[in-house]
Amino acid sequence: MQFEVVIGLEVHVQLNTKTKMFCSCPTSFAQEQNKNTCPTCLGLPGALPVINEEAVKKAMMFGWAVEATINEKSIFNRKNYFYPDLPKGYQISQFEIPIVENGHLFIDKEDGSKRRIGITRAHLEEDAGKNIHEGDISKVDLNRAGTPLLEIVSEPDLRSSEEAVQYLKKLHAIVRYLDISDANMQEGSFRCDANVSIRPKGEEKLYTRVEIKNLNSFRFIQRAIDYEVQRHIEAWEDGLYEEEVVQETRLFDTQKGVTRSMRGKEESADYRYFPDPDLPPLVIPDHFFEETKNIPELPDQKRDRFIEEYGIKPYDAALIAGSKETAQFFEEMMRTGVEAKNAVTWLTVELAARLNKAGLDITQSPVDSAKLAKLVQRIEDKTISGKAAKDVLDYLMEHDIDVDEAIEKLGLKQISDASALEPLIDEILAANADKVEQYKAGKEKLFGFFVGQVMKASQGKADPKLVNELLRKKLS
């Protein structure tokens, strides 16, 4: 039997406001535990919440970016559950009427077409605190309690772990481009819960879904979904689907690559949602709509512009536009007048490989956009060869030095002067007279041998194009 995978994702994005969602405590990471707290975020009796208008504006910007409906009136609810890091015994969230609903984004399919993924809703809520386990002691740090979150819920439109990761990467890029979150997955400001189920191909019915909680890297998200899908399929094929696949919350063990049961999954009724009596309905003023509409160019628009403006391949354009910092780096290179094709190669292949090996991202690159552009210029003006440029780039990764200085220091300046190369070529042809005869007699494959000998004799510094030209002239 063939199965179809059904995946829906809930993504929690920590908004980069200066203060918390319902009080004026700072959202910065405090060194001291429980320092960024007040009666409101500690849930003390009589303390009243006040809505953070910056968080509202950032949620609206996201709404415009995914072409969603922004509700002029939305309601904050109490979501009741008991957990040590939730001091009030409830979380303030949105339920029936969220601030943003009915949006979408597109992911690219392998055949070049696009696939629409629906976004059911994006609602504002406050984060919980943090449990710290040290040996047999557990502590609670409430510095994070009350931090503004935007929870983005997709439709169950995703059909594989690859599509799920593609959707998440697009979402990650959008919130970074909008500058509403730093979306740092390691620090938990962009984390994901995956709802996974399977069904026989062709069926429309939705079967039991399992929620995998708090995934914070694209690699782990893919591995967790793949494991869970396989577990469901095996249970179905063994006739144990109803016993083994139950509605529950599971955790992904990153060491063993397996998911483990955590607790039974609650339905919305279990949370006993009701409108928060301390907060009136959120009615968005008209001027907020005007202020938030003017959003920056987004990844898809940037990709399309790169293709049109610079004539680069769609794959390369999507790769560069997929990261706000990489796109900025590329555009800075293009402003120096280098050729787009060369800029793409040296950014996405050469520099990317070296950064990957060093475990760095583009923001930590020892070689900035100006240096990489200058290196590309030196290839284009034939100061150095492409091969020599790789050695220069290696050197620049380790030393804070000007490109021209590095070329000089490494002695890699290319010989582009015909008068300097001609004596060298004459010498090689004289030393290989027999091969010259063979070449003239029709053994044209020997041409590569002559090029190689000249390059070797010049220690790789000869301009290959000029070597080819001079050799053809002399051999004819």
Q: Domains, the chain, ranges and CATH?
A: 3-292 (no CATH), 299-410 (no CATH), 418-475 (1.10.10.410)
Q: Side-chain half-sphere of 142: how many Cα atoms within 13 Å?
A: 18
Is the CB of residue 186 less than 8 Å from the CB of residue 59?
no
Is the CB of residue 58 less than 8 Å from the CB of residue 21?
no
Q: Which residues pair with 326 in a beta bridge?
A: none
Distances (CA, A) of 401 to 28, 377, 382, 410: 36, 16, 20, 12
Distance CA 123, CA 59 (A): 8
- In a structure prediction context, what are the per-residue pLDDT tens digits for the chain, which is 476 residues long? 899 999 999 999 999 999 999 999 999 877 799 999 999 999 999 999 999 999 999 999 999 999 999 999 999 999 998 888 899 999 999 999 999 999 999 998 777 778 999 999 999 999 999 998 888 999 999 999 999 999 999 999 999 999 999 999 999 999 999 999 999 988 889 999 999 999 999 889 999 999 998 788 899 999 999 999 999 999 998 888 888 889 989 999 988 989 998 877 667 678 899 999 999 999 999 999 999 999 999 999 999 999 999 999 999 999 999 999 999 999 999 999 999 999 999 999 999 999 999 999 999 999 999 999 999 999 998 888 888 899 999 999 999 999 999 998 888 776 666 666 777 777 777 777 777 777 777 777 877 877 778 777 777 777 777 778 777 887 77
Distance CA 468, CA 431 (A): 18
- DSSP annotation of 158 reads B
Tell me the pTM. 0.85
Is the CB of residue 66 less than 8 Å from the CB of residue 119?
yes
